[in-house]
Structures are given as structure tokens and as C-alpha cells.
Amino acid sequence: MTIIQEESGNEAFYKKAIIIVNETYFFRGAAKTPALILPSERAGKERKEYYNALIEKINKGEINVEYLFSLPRTEEAIIEYVRKNGKNGWEEIKKDWEELVDRCATVSLRYIEHDDFISCIIGDHHTLIGWKGGKDKRIIGITYMTNGMSFYKNLFDEIFATGSNAHLEAIQSIEEKLKKMNLI
């Protein structure tokens, strides 16, 4: 097993993530909020490159994706995004979310009701773990591994199996909350 831990920060994490996306056929990812449905998560050069590389491979059918995210954290991010972008912001997110789960056979998107997991990307040959400090959104350290990754793959598979794919209910719940808050 080769472990590299010399870098930290969001830029370093996404640079390694791009490498994994470009070199893998089966992608597993966990993030507290998913770039796949949240435009605000695509900010920054490296994050945008990572997202674009992933979406391009999804659209071409060159990658199978299992993506896990935290519904409470995603809801918070959606509320913040809609506050800034109004009803059109919500419609954009909702459209992307629905299209992803309804029309994309190579993507399995699931959510969990808590956010106490570590952001990670697991490819065919590499695993990338992003370590964050407390409530800090910045990645304070990364672990990038080749070989010997079965522990992380097995752990991801266990957690992913408990995730929900009741996306319509989640979308409706968030929409009701946005209406109660007079944001849409």
C-alpha cells in the first residue's frame, strides 16, 4: 500500500480527485453536499474541473457512479443558494437533481440523514480521503492511497447500502420548507 499525506487544502484534494475521475471506471464518492446537484459546490477552479470531468464521463457513459451525501447539509446549502439566487436557483437545482436520478442509468445517488462521515473518493486504483477540522469547510489534510483500499471500499459499501434513494420525497420536503420560508 502506498499512502501519500504531504498535502492539504481543498485545491490539493480536487487535483487528486480529477486524477481519480480520469483513471477510473467505477467511482464511489461521499460528500456532505453533492456537486452533482448544487451549483454552489462547483465554485473554484479545481472543484469545477473535477465536476466537469465527472459529468463528462457520466454523459458519455464511461463511468459508473455511486454518490452519497448528507440530506441535512444539502438542505442547508440549498436554502443558502436559493436565498442568493431566488426561485430560479431552486428550479435549477430541482431540474438537475430530478434529471440525474431519473435519466442517468450509470449514477446511483443516495443520501443519509446525518453528516458524520468523511468526504472520500474511491476509484478503481486510488482512494482519496479529505480530513476536515470540526465545522471548518476547508480540508486540512488528505490521504491519497494506491492499493490496499478494501477497508474503505467495504466501509463505503456498508454506508451506501443504508442510504435512501427516495429523492422525490426529499425534493418535496425541501420545497415545502422553502415555501414556508417564503424563498420560493
- Determine the average pLDDT of the residues in 148-156: 80
CB 143 within 8 A of CB 103: no
Indicate the helix (H) or strand (E) that contains 75: helix 71-103
- Domain boundary assignment for the chain: 2-179
Q: Name the residue among 96, 106, 116, 25 with its Cα closest to residue 67.
A: 106
- Highest mean pLDDT: which range of 6-10, 39-43, 139-143, 158-162: 158-162
pTM: 0.86
> What integer pLDDT is reported at residue 108 of this predicted model?
95
Asked if 38 contacts 77 with a C-beta cutoff of 8 angstroms, the reply is yes
At 144 the pLDDT is: 77
Pick 2-179's CATH classification: 1.10.3720.10, 3.20.20.70, 3.40.1390.10, 3.30.870.10: 3.30.870.10
For cell 448544487, what's the residue?
38
Binned at pLDDT 50, 70 and 90, residue 1 comes out as very low
> Would the pLDDT of 2 be above 60?
no
> For 160-180, what is the mean pLDDT?
96
Query: At which residue does the C-alpha cell 469545477 appear?
Result: 48
Write the pLDDT tens digit of every residue in 102-139: 888 899 999 999 877 778 899 998 888 887 766 656 66
Query: What are the CA-CA distances from residue 181 to residues 31, 108, 145, 169, 176 (Å)?
Result: 26, 30, 44, 18, 9
List C-alpha distances in Å: 103 to 16, 52, 56, 132, 167: 28, 18, 15, 33, 13
What is the pLDDT averaged over residues 36-58?
89
Res. 21: pLDDT tops 50: yes
pLDDT at residue 151 in the model: 83
For residue 129, what pLDDT is reported? 84
- What number of H helices and E strands is found in the chain? 5, 7
Q: What percent of the chain has pLDDT over 70?
A: 88
Mean pLDDT calculated for residue range 20-38:
92
